[in-house]
Amino acid sequence: MNQIIMPENIFIGKNLVGNEIEHITRTLGDIRSIFEQNDRITAQQADQTAYKVSSYLPEKEGTPGGLYFGITRLCAGLVGDEYFMTKGHFHANTDTAEFYWGIEGEGVLILMDEQGNIKGERMFPGSLHYIPGRIAHRVANVSDSTLSFGACWPSNAGHNYDIIEQNGFTARLKKMNGKPQLI
């Protein structure tokens, strides 16, 4: 009774650890189709990690009112002139929003509305990003080291990857004259 206990899962430094944390890895081969010059990904590079996501999903997927928490670690690199990036998605439950925040490294959060209008927000340690419903979101690493960012989203948001798989984003984040540009 009236006990004070240790939490099961902790966010320590840049790591999310605990028995209930789920870890997924996406290799360059897994996300090959998102890159314009994907023929540049060699068989050897296909096994290379592009990013890892650690998530705490304390509610059953689809539960209204619940929240999920994730840390994504995105490696540095280029496929041709395009920065390593996450797959990107709309939410299946279209009106649900999400927070992203920068933890380590430098990146750009690419936001696209349903009409295809694009906006990029600089991501850096401490940057905070509100992603409203009906906005597709993807993060690119524009630095030479790992980019880590946090995410918090509703447990009934879901992921819709199909629209992005079919049409992509209307602009790509490319390294042009040494600088990131949305083209």
User: Can you give the binding site for Zn ion, defined by CB under 5 A?
Assistant: 98
Does 120 bind ligand M6P (CB under 6 A)? Our answer is no
- In 3-state terms the chain splits into helix, strand, coil percentages (rounded to 5) of 10, 45, 45
**Taking CB under 6 A as the criterion, which residues in 146-175 touch ligand M6P?**
151, 153, 159
Q: DSSP letter string over 109-149?
A: EEEE-TT--EEEEEE-TT-EEEE-TT-EEEEEE-SSS-EEE
By the rule CB under 6 A, 141 interacts with ligand M6P: no
CB of 167 to Zn ion, least distance (A): 17
Instruction: Please identify, using beta-carbon distances, which residue of 96 and 141 lies nearer to Zn ion.
Output: 96
Yes or no: say if 74 and 141 are a contact pair by the CB < 8 Å rule.
yes
Confirm or reject binding of residue 53 to ligand M6P (CB under 6 A). yes
Q: Which of residues 25 and 94 has its CB atom nearest to Zn ion in the complex?
A: 94
- When CB distances are held under 5 to 8 angstroms depending on the partner's kind, the choice from ligand M6P, Zn ion, none that residue 120 binds is none
Interstrand relation of 49-56 and 67-74 (parallel, antiparallel or unpaired): antiparallel
Q: Give the residues lining the site for ligand M6P (CB under 6 A).
A: 53, 70, 72, 86-89, 98, 151, 153, 159
